[in-house]
């Protein structure tokens, strides 16, 4: 089956890439610089190779392109999703490269990343709309109804959702294996839904994402041998958004991205509360995974609990959405 082939190719290429890329990154001294205001026990991670997201990007690139040429000839959505995720990964790569060259944590500015992400989000939305994969009717998961929006309102909403989600995914990448673990159930859910709906291009893409993340986790699980960097986290954010919008169901990101949302909201709440109270904090440290670390949780416990929560919401999404999609 095309889905199985996509999974196997992505897993194999990602795993083999790790054996080649990690030693290469070490030789190039492309190590992670740890923030001085982060948890002190993270300082031992200083110098761990970063930009490891190139591993599963290579795996997905191989799997999706082979599928497009072998099984999905004439299809437009799979290449569109891949290109969108790749551009997000390229933004992250530019950010990582600048950090490595400067031996610090200052990469692209927030404004630079925002406008680059916004431009690619708008282009992707317009492409999907022009190709007939996207409508201005907003599907409400679990309720099973659609809310009609005017196209300008929908495009503004969609761009906001994409940029917000990509950055929320990026924030989640702060503990060994965390983003990989949290995203794995999400990718599995997207794969199952796409197969159930008979959407072969989305299923191939989601299966490749699932396999790439699973293979990367072999190297990224605590203690991590490599970090994905913004290269990987922005690519994953782009891939998750691409799947949601290609399914014409952007609000599916609410249950599937519950951990991403919690991480982003904890950061926003912390900053706002700090400013409003002139120095007080709600969380011991933000984003949320650092708060639990400060509470005494090990990185493995944070990984296990957050991944379990993601898996529960992925299962609920599968049960709720598939039965109400009208199929």
Asked whether the beta carbons of 287 and 171 are under 8 A apart, the reply is yes
* Token reading at 40: 């002190």
d(CA 201, CA 72): 7
Asked whether the beta carbons of 91 and 113 are under 8 A apart, the reply is yes
In eight-state DSSP terms, residue 250 is G
Q: What's the pLDDT at 326?
A: 46
* Token reading at 272: 């706002």
Query: Which H/E stretch holds residue 141?
Result: none
Q: What's the pLDDT at 327?
A: 43
d(CA 292, CA 300): 11
Per-residue pLDDT, averaged over 11-31, amounts to: 88
Pairing of strands 137-140, 145-148: antiparallel
CA contacts within 13 A on the Cβ side of 119: 8
Residue-averaged pLDDT of the chain: 89
d(CA 93, CA 87): 10
pLDDT in tens, 191-235: 999 999 889 999 999 999 999 999 999 999 989 899 999 999 999
d(CA 75, CA 45): 43
* Token reading at 259: 């951990």
Task: Compute CA distances 243 → 181, 190, 240, 250, whole Å.
Answer: 18, 7, 5, 9
Q: How confident is the model at residue 29 (pLDDT cuts 50, 70, 90)?
A: confident
Asked whether the beta carbons of 226 and 171 are under 8 A apart, the reply is no
Q: In percent, how much of the chain has pLDDT > 90? A: 62
d(CA 205, CA 203): 5
CB atoms within 10 A of CB 309: 15
Q: How far is C-alpha 229 from the chain's CA centre? A: 12
Per-residue pLDDT, averaged over 72-95, amounts to: 90
d(CA 57, CA 17): 10
Residue 33 has pLDDT above 80, yes or no: no
pLDDT in tens, 295-309: 999 999 999 999 999
C-alpha gyration radius of the chain: 19
Per-residue pLDDT, averaged over 142-170, amounts to: 91
Residue 21 has pLDDT above 70, yes or no: yes
Residue 293 has pLDDT above 80, yes or no: yes
Asked whether the beta carbons of 233 and 92 are under 8 A apart, the reply is yes
Q: In percent, how much of the chain has pLDDT > 70? A: 91
Alpha-helix residue ranges (DSSP H) falling in 107-249 = 110-131, 151-172, 178-197, 200-220, 229-246
Q: Which residue would you say has higher pLDDT here, 257 or 48? A: 257
Listed residue (137, 175, 173) closest to 154, CA to CA: 137
pLDDT in tens, 257-268: 999 999 999 999
Q: How confident is the model at residue 134 (pLDDT cuts 50, 70, 90)?
A: confident
Query: Which H/E stretch holds residue 138?
Result: strand 137-140
Residue 46 has pLDDT above 70, yes or no: no
d(CA 310, CA 297): 18
Q: At what angle do helices 178-197 and 200-220 cross, to 10 degrees?
A: 160
Per-residue pLDDT, averaged over 22-28, amounts to: 86
pLDDT in tens, 306-326: 999 999 999 999 988 865 554
């Amino acid at each position: 089956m095309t889905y199985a082939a996509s999974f196997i190719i992505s897993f194999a290429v990602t795993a083999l890439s790790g054996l080649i890329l990690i030693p290469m990154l070490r030789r190039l001294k492309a190590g992670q610089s740890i923030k001085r205001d982060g948890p002190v026990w993270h300082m031992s991670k200083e110098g761990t190779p970063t930009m490891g997201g190139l591993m599963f990007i290579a795996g997905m690139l191989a799997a999706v392109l082979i599928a497009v040429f072998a099984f999905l000839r004439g299809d437009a959505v799979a290449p569109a999703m891949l290109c969108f995720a790749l551009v997000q990964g390229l933004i992250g790569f530019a950010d990582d490269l600048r950090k490595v060259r400067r031996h610090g944590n200052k990469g692209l500015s927030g404004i630079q990343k925002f406008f680059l992400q916004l431009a690619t989000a708008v282009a992707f939305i317009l492409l999907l709309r022009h190709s007939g994969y996207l409508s201005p009717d907003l599907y409400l998961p679990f309720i099973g109804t659609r809310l009609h929006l005017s196209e300008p309102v929908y495009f503004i909403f969609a761009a906001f959702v994409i940029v917000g989600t990509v950055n929320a995914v990026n924030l989640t990448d702060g503990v060994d294996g965390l983003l990989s673990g949290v995203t794995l159930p999400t990718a599995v859910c997207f794969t199952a839904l796409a197969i159930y709906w008979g959407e072969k291009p989305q299923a191939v893409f989601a299966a490749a994402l699932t396999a790439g993340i699973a293979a990367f986790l072999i190297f990224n699980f605590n203690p991590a041998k490599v970090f994905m960097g913004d290269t990987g986290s922005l690519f994953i954010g782009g891939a998750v958004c691409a799947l949601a919008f290609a399914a014409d169901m952007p609000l599916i990101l609410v249950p599937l991205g519950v951990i991403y949302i919690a991480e982003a909201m904890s950061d926003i709440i912390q900053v706002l509360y700090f400013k409003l109270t002139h120095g007080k904090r709600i969380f011991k440290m933000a984003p949320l995974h650092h708060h639990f670390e400060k509470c005494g949780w090990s990185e493995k416990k944070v990984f296990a609990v957050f991944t379990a929560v993601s898996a529960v919401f992925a299962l609920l999404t599968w049960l709720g959405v598939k039965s109400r999609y009208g199929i």
